[in-house]
Structure 1
């Protein structure tokens, strides 16, 4: 049999046509889907074989959201998604224009949609993310203004905001046995919340109460909303090899503070925000130089307090688990960058270490770690109670080491305050949890008995 050149060309044309998208084979496929309801939005995630071109638009009466994906087929069962606690009543899908896919969300009420693509990571491949923002609920973006405490209340609670890292689409580190960091730290945060709330003079708040993700900057905004005296972010460390182990405590590094100072000064809305906590200093009426100095002093005071409380926590953690480092480490973590709230990050252990993974997944070990963290917090605040709190009042009533309080004035130095009150600089630093001689105008110092 003789095959001519023309026959070869015809055969090649048939093959090309049969493999082209127009012949009914889409370029990519939706391989899976997940939904994550959060307090102010719901996140819908589509796993796609490759990057997908898409458009979204809303329809009213009834409320619907239409998601069109170009050159895409559906290989997942969307009916299996749990739509409870979300504004989605039903999900429908159908091919469109040959090789395109249309997904329609039937909604209980109108929402504000947002969509974006995510590149593959260690956990997932290509993803199309659709956020359904529920504008009738309080948005975390609206929490940039802090709530000012009632200064007439001299026995208020110490507010501790606990941040369980990761959540939702972000599982955090995953141990060799499949334990997910986001689950471990949420369980530990809840145990810490119970311990704090059970002690008179304390009140705890969680940044997230379920399996959903909160932007890192929004976590610090929540701490400001609750006017926190302390922000504690709970995580579980990981490394590329299984050998490293032990718990760690981090505070903000000076390098991180410097970059954050520049960021705050660059954003005009921060100018009217409180700096220095109880001092109530604002930047709105200050020039750039003075605002920078005040902000830098506030950052330094916050870091000093963070290192102080971190040291107390490490002392307690060392009794229940191995320590990775015996001193408080410092790094430029975003969640630690609040300029006037002492903030620490607790790495409860290495989830990448098989033995520590088993410990971190154990309810008993979680209770021990949570108890150690709280005991450290309590020891610190009993030594340096914030002004106006029940702990400060109790310390005065008991005739403890603190004889009085002093509000730092312009021109004051730590040595001058010590000399005026006939105490040593070291005693002032010890009682106030200071690691250096820097004091901030408006800062309240506890003056120890001579």
Structure 2
């Protein structure tokens, strides 16, 4: 009888097991759900972000004539969220003209990104970080970075030649490549302008020497105009009329784009406050006769930490100042702080906490961890940079002392920690925590325009005090190539 019961129970168990397995096989697996889409347009690149409940599977291809990027997002439903992506494209977007979204086949949504010109797409996924779930990130970069193009123009200006009556040699005048005018050969002996072979000018008639001189003059004016435009953004660090070399200061508004930074009790976002303060600081510095400031970002978009460092170095900055308004676990924490880089370790537990938090910005903001940038590897090495750190400490002390006159200080000395954004080997660099946005009273002050103005003046006064005892000398750049 016992054997019969055993066989009976076993048969029932098997039937139950087959029933469960059959039910599992017959029940369709639920598709991934897109929960949010965002577009961050900027001069340096445009970012498209798709956020979903589960890891996102995708395939990307590029097409030409016209320029397009096609992304097939697999195992997702065409819901209202992902459909809204096409409505988020701005007419002023420098790289994207429109986005089309439709079902390519069941459970596959196709995105067709129509571009305004040739571009370089980069696509990658990110695991959950901060308040974000799984993300698919598509970055549309120009074929040449605008900043790098300006620097190339500065370093390799168009060559022009003045033509005089006493000049008996044949000289070539090359116009900037951005114009449609062909290069011309000016021969003062025969007083004529010869058009290069292969060029197709509108008028091929010869001209007299006066017109030849006018052509050269126009060329010089075009070149001068181009150089003036570049000089607005890219300082050349040449002596001013008073014999003082122009000082270049890189201002880095923390966070941006996908990375909001810390968020205050009433919803203030660190990325917005830091940009406001940074723009005000730039305006004040630009009013100084021998100073010029440049921003690592001038809008709401994200820049990886190492790119902020590289931008400052490419611009041959004399100082690097990163602006923040962070939060702490305790909302009662208050006061302003200034940080410099540490080679050995953080000077306090709070400094270590803040450095770790800021260094996670790349993961939250969205940087592909699979991209191996040799410049990144060389720039962020733990270099022996004792002299630069000592200068950073001097700068930090000067700035901290002046900030202390308008706000309580969290610590009365410059703290140190391993902030990745401060790792330039040859630029004194500090990170200014303007106040704790997690403190309700300080959050209110950070949003107050009058307080922002006082804060900016205190930082500028600290910068001027630093240079009064540490004059800007000729730059000696540390090569990383």
TM-score over 0.5 for the pair: yes
SS of residue matched to 1:173: coil
Show the 5 A alignment for 1:290-369: 296=384, 299-369=385-455
Q: Counterpart in 1 of 2:472?
A: 386
Residues 137 and 220 of structure 1, relative CA distance in 2, 3 Å threshold:
closer
- The separation in 2 between residues aligned to 1:155 and 1:163, in whole angstroms, is 25
- The separation in 1 between residues aligned to 2:111 and 2:377, in whole angstroms, is 44
Q: Counterpart in 2 of 1:32?
A: 36
SS of residue matched to 1:155: coil
Q: Counterpart in 1 of 2:75?
A: 71
State yes or no: 1:51 paired with 2:137.
no
Residues 97 and 323 of structure 1, relative CA distance in 2, 3 Å threshold:
same
- The separation in 1 between residues aligned to 2:404 and 2:284, in whole angstroms, is 19
Post-superposition Cα deviations, 1:152-181, rounded to whole Å, max 9, x if no partner, equal 984222111111011111111111111110
State yes or no: 1:249 paired with 2:335.
no
Is the contact between residue 60 and residue 71 of structure 2 (CA under 8 Å) also seen in structure 1?
A: yes
Tell me by how many angstroms 1:356 deviates.
1.0
Tell me by how many angstroms 1:238 deviates.
1.0
State yes or no: 1:178 paired with 2:182.
no
Count, aligned residues: 351
Q: Counterpart in 1 of 2:120?
A: 112
Tell me by how many angstroms 1:241 deviates.
2.2
- The separation in 1 between residues aligned to 2:124 and 2:404, in whole angstroms, is 44
Tell me which of 124, 132, 138 is aligned to 1:124: 132
- The separation in 1 between residues aligned to 2:22 and 2:447, in whole angstroms, is 58
Tell me which of 267, 290, 307 is aligned to 1:218: 307
Residues 126 and 215 of structure 1, relative CA distance in 2, 3 Å threshold:
same
Q: Counterpart in 1 of 2:296?
A: 207
Q: Counterpart in 2 of 1:232?
A: 321
- The separation in 1 between residues aligned to 2:462 and 2:17, in whole angstroms, is 79
State yes or no: 1:90 paired with 2:91.
no
SS of residue matched to 2:389: helix
Is the contact between residue 237 and residue 248 of structure 2 (CA under 8 Å) also seen in structure 1?
A: no
Post-superposition Cα deviations, 1:102-146, rounded to whole Å, max 9, x if no partner, equal 111122223211111111122211111011111144366998999
Residues 272 and 149 of structure 1, relative CA distance in 2, 3 Å threshold:
farther
Is the contact between residue 40 and residue 135 of structure 1 (CA under 8 Å) also seen in structure 2?
A: no
- Structure 1 residue ranges without an equivalent (≥5): 258-266, 274-291, 390-406, 408-450
Tell me by how many angstroms 1:383 deviates.
2.6
SS of residue matched to 1:73: coil
Post-superposition Cα deviations, 1:24-53, rounded to whole Å, max 9, x if no partner, equal x52x02222111122221110001121111
Is the contact between residue 33 and residue 45 of structure 1 (CA under 8 Å) also seen in structure 2?
A: yes
Tell me by how many angstroms 1:79 deviates.
3.2
Q: Counterpart in 1 of 2:158?
A: none
SS of residue matched to 2:407: coil
Tell me by how many angstroms 1:9 deviates.
10
Is the contact between residue 333 and residue 439 of structure 2 (CA under 8 Å) also seen in structure 1?
A: yes
Structure with bigger gyration radius: 2
Is the contact between residue 36 and residue 52 of structure 2 (CA under 8 Å) also seen in structure 1?
A: yes
State yes or no: 1:163 paired with 2:249.
no
Residues 120 and 271 of structure 1, relative CA distance in 2, 3 Å threshold:
closer
- The separation in 2 between residues aligned to 1:141 and 1:20, in whole angstroms, is 52
Post-superposition Cα deviations, 1:58-88, rounded to whole Å, max 9, x if no partner, equal 1111211111111111331223313332422
Q: Counterpart in 1 of 2:164?
A: none
Tell me by how many angstroms 1:315 deviates.
1.0
For normalisation by structure 2, the TM-score amounts to 0.66
Residues 366 and 147 of structure 1, relative CA distance in 2, 3 Å threshold:
closer
- The separation in 2 between residues aligned to 1:113 and 1:270, in whole angstroms, is 20
Q: Counterpart in 2 of 1:60?
A: 64
Is the contact between residue 256 and residue 337 of structure 1 (CA under 8 Å) also seen in structure 2?
A: no
- Structure 2 residue ranges without an equivalent (≥5): 1-11, 156-233, 347-372, 477-481
Residues 147 and 361 of structure 1, relative CA distance in 2, 3 Å threshold:
closer
Tell me by how many angstroms 1:147 deviates.
9.1
Is the contact between residue 252 and residue 278 of structure 2 (CA under 8 Å) also seen in structure 1?
A: yes
Tell me by how many angstroms 1:100 deviates.
1.5
- The separation in 2 between residues aligned to 1:355 and 1:201, in whole angstroms, is 37
The RMSD of aligned alpha carbons is 3.4
- The separation in 1 between residues aligned to 2:27 and 2:250, in whole angstroms, is 57
Residues 142 and 50 of structure 1, relative CA distance in 2, 3 Å threshold:
farther
Residues 200 and 164 of structure 1, relative CA distance in 2, 3 Å threshold:
same
Post-superposition Cα deviations, 1:390-419, rounded to whole Å, max 9, x if no partner, equal xxxxxxxxxxxxxxxxx9xxxxxxxxxxxx
For normalisation by structure 1, the TM-score amounts to 0.71
